[in-house]
Structure 1
Amino acid sequence: MTARWIRERIVLVLGLLVLVYTFVPIAVVVLMSFNAPASRNVYRFDAFTLDNWANPCAAEGMCSALGRSIQIGLLATLVATVLGTLAGFALVRHDFAGRSASNLLIFLPMAAPEIVLGSSLLALFVASGFAGQLGFWTILIAHIMFCLSFVVVTIRSRLAGMDDTLEQAAMDLYATPVQTFRRVTFPLVFPGILGAALLSFSLSFDDFIITNLNAGTTTTFPMYVWGAAQRGVPMQVNVVGTLMFVVSVAIVVSVEMNNRRRTRALV
C-alpha cells in the first residue's frame, strides 16, 4: 500500500522538493532583510528589525548603484526589445540572402561564455579609442548587445508557433496591413515581447562579469554587492533583493490573471 502510494505521487513529491530547494535561498534573503546583525562580518540572523526597510539607503553608495543599474537595465531593455522584435519579424516573415547565417549568428552571444563576450567587448572599446571613457555608455552598449540575442530568440519562437490564419482572415475582411498588425498580429505577439523585455531587464540588472570588464570606475548594483561582500554585506542589500522578487512575482501573477480573464471572455 505504501509503495503504491509513493509510486503514484513520486513526481509530485519530487516537484515539491525541487520547489523547496529553489526557494530556500529566496527565503533566506527575505529573512535577512529583517535582520539586525550584531556584526557585519558574520552573516546570521541575530534580531528582528524594520530599520532596514525604513532606511534602505543607509548603506553608503548602495542606492546610487541601484539607480544606475535600473537606469541601464531599462534603457538596454527598451533598445534590445525594439531591435530584437524587428529582427525576429525579419527572420520569420521574410526570406533574404544570409538568413540561415543570421539565425546561426544570433545564438553565438548566448552560447559564448560571459568572460569571452566581456573581454571581446573590452577589446573592441579599447581598439575604438574608448579605453579612457569606460563607464555608463560602454556598459549600456554591452548590455544591449548580449540582451539582443535573447530577445530575438524569444520573439522568433513566438512568431514561429503562431497561426497566421487569423491574419489572413483579417485581410480577407478588408483590413489594411496596418490594421491587421495593430488588431491581430501585435496582440498575439505581445506576450512574447513582454517576456523578452522582462528577461532582458533581468539579465541586464543581474550582470556582473561583462559589466565589470567594461565599467571603468562606474559601479552598478551587482558590483556594489561584490565589493561590499569583502567587508560585510549590509542588510539593505536583502531589502533590494526582496523587493525585486516581489515585483517579479507581481508582474507574472498580473499577466497570468489578465490572460485568464481574456480566455474566459472569449469563451
Structure 2
Amino acid sequence: MRRSKLLYVPFWATYVFLYLPIAVLVVMSFNSGESAYTYEGFSLKWYGELAADERIRTGLVNTLIVAAGSTAIATVLGTLLAVGLARHTRSKTLDALALMPAVLPDLVLAIGLLVFYSAIQLTLGLYSVTLAHALFSMAFVAAVVRTRLTGADTSLEEASRDLGAGPVVTFMKITLPQLTPGIVAGALLAFTLSLDEFVIAFFTIGNAEPTLPIVIYSMVRFGVTPKINALAAILLLVSFTAVIAGQRMTRIGESRAQD
C-alpha cells in the first residue's frame, strides 16, 4: 500500500520550522550592511571584525579552557560511572541518580551549584564553571558509554579474568578498547554542551572574565548585529561538526561490535 504524500507534510514542515531560522541567520552573517534583518549584499567583513574584537577573543579562550577541562573530567568520570552501573550494580535508583544532572533544568542545577559553592566558601571563577560543566556533562558521557557497553562482548572480559588478569588489566586491555568509539562520542558531546552553555556558567563564574556565551548575551542585550550572526554561524559549524563526528564514531563502534 502506497503511503499518502500528505503524511510527509508535517515531517517537512517540522524540519523547515527547525532549520529555516538557522539558515536565515547564516545568510545574514554575510550581510554587507549594518542591519541584522535587511540583506544588502555579500561580505565577509563581520567575520574579520570578530577576530579583531578583544572581548570575543577573551571569551573564546575562556570557553575553550572550560570546555577542555570539563570534557576531560566528565569523560573519565562518566566512563567509570557507566562501567560501574553496567557491570557492578543493578540498581534502577542509582541509574536514575546518575542521569539526573542531564534531565534537571539548567536553572535548578545552576542555583543548586551556587548554593553549594557558597556553603563550602569556594571562590567562583573559571574552575568553578569547569566543575559545574563536568557535573552535567558526566551524565551524558555515562549514557553514551553505557549504550556502547550493551553491545560489548563480555566473553572477552571473562576469558581475560580466567587467564589470570586482574580487574585493572582486563579493563585497560579488553574493556577500554571496545569502549573507545563511545568514549570519543561522549567526549565530543560533552565538549559541545560546554561550548555553548550559558545558564550554569552565568551563575557560577562570579567576577571572573566571562565565557563566550555570556559575552554574546551582553552583546544581544543592545540588539542583534551581523557580527553576532557571524559568531553564531561559527558556533553552529563547530557544534554540527562535533555532533556528526560523535555519531560517526558511534556507528563505527557498532559496526566493529557486529563484526
The alignment's TM-score, normalised by the length of structure 2, stands at: 0.81
1:82 aligns with 2:73: no
Gaps of 5+ in 2: none
Counterparts of 1:61-100 in structure 2, within 5 Å, are 61-95=55-89, 99-100=91-92
* Cα deviation digits, residues 94-151 of structure 1 (max 9, x gap): 149xx55432311322232221111111111112123xx3221111111111211222
Go from structure 1 to structure 2 and tell me whether the alpha carbon gap of 1:58 and 1:234 turns closer, same or farther (over 3 Å shift): farther
- Give the match for residue 214 of structure 2: 223
Go from structure 1 to structure 2 and tell me whether the alpha carbon gap of 1:122 and 1:51 turns closer, same or farther (over 3 Å shift): same
The structure having more radius of gyration, on CA atoms, is 1
- Is the 1:80–1:144 contact (alpha carbons within 8 Å) kept by the matching residues of 2? yes
Return the alpha-carbon distance in structure 2 between the equivalents of residues 162 and 86 of structure 1.
15
Amino acid of the structure 1 residue aligned with 2:144: T
Return the alpha-carbon distance in structure 1 between the equivalents of residues 223 and 173 of structure 2.
53
- Give the match for residue 33 of structure 2: 37
Counterparts of 1:132-151 in structure 2, within 5 Å, are 133-151=123-141
Task: Choose from 205, 223, 229 the match for 1:232.
Answer: 223
1:193 aligns with 2:183: yes
- Give the match for residue 119 of structure 1: 111
Task: Choose from 15, 18, 22 the match for 1:19.
Answer: 15
Return the alpha-carbon distance in structure 2 between the equivalents of residues 202 and 148 of structure 1.
13
- Give the match for residue 242 of structure 1: 233
How far 1:202 moved relative to its partner? 1.9
- Give the match for residue 28 of structure 1: 24
1:57 is paired with a residue whose SS is helix
How far 1:75 moved relative to its partner? 1.0
1:30 is paired with a residue whose SS is helix
Task: Choose from 192, 206, 214 the match for 2:196.
Answer: 206
Amino acid of the structure 2 residue aligned with 1:238: N
Root mean square deviation, CA, Å? 3.3
Residue range with higher mean Cα deviation, 70-79 or 247-256: 247-256
* Cα deviation digits, residues 6-47 of structure 1 (max 9, x gap): x344454543333232221221221122123335xx543333
1:158 aligns with 2:148: yes
The alignment's TM-score, normalised by the length of structure 1, stands at: 0.79
How far 1:229 moved relative to its partner? 0.9
Return the alpha-carbon distance in structure 2 between the equivalents of residues 250 and 107 of structure 1.
25
Residue range with higher mean Cα deviation, 209-218 or 17-26: 17-26
Residue range with higher mean Cα deviation, 211-220 or 154-163: 154-163
How far 1:63 moved relative to its partner? 1.7
* Cα deviation digits, residues 174-208 of structure 1 (max 9, x gap): 69577865665334322221221122112212211
Return the alpha-carbon distance in structure 2 between the equivalents of residues 247 and 54 of structure 1.
18
Identity of aligned residues (%): 32
How far 1:48 moved relative to its partner? 2.1
Amino acid of the structure 1 residue aligned with 2:66: I
How far 1:79 moved relative to its partner? 0.7
Go from structure 1 to structure 2 and tell me whether the alpha carbon gap of 1:169 and 1:23 turns closer, same or farther (over 3 Å shift): farther
2:214 is paired with a residue whose SS is helix
Amino acid of the structure 2 residue aligned with 1:224: V
Return the alpha-carbon distance in structure 2 between the equivalents of residues 213 and 254 of structure 1.
29
* Cα deviation digits, residues 59-106 of structure 1 (max 9, x gap): 45112112211220111011101111011111111149xx55432311
Go from structure 1 to structure 2 and tell me whether the alpha carbon gap of 1:253 and 1:223 turns closer, same or farther (over 3 Å shift): closer
What is the total number of aligned residue pairs between the two structures?
A: 255
- Give the match for residue 107 of structure 1: 99
Go from structure 1 to structure 2 and tell me whether the alpha carbon gap of 1:176 and 1:11 turns closer, same or farther (over 3 Å shift): farther
Gaps of 5+ in 1: none
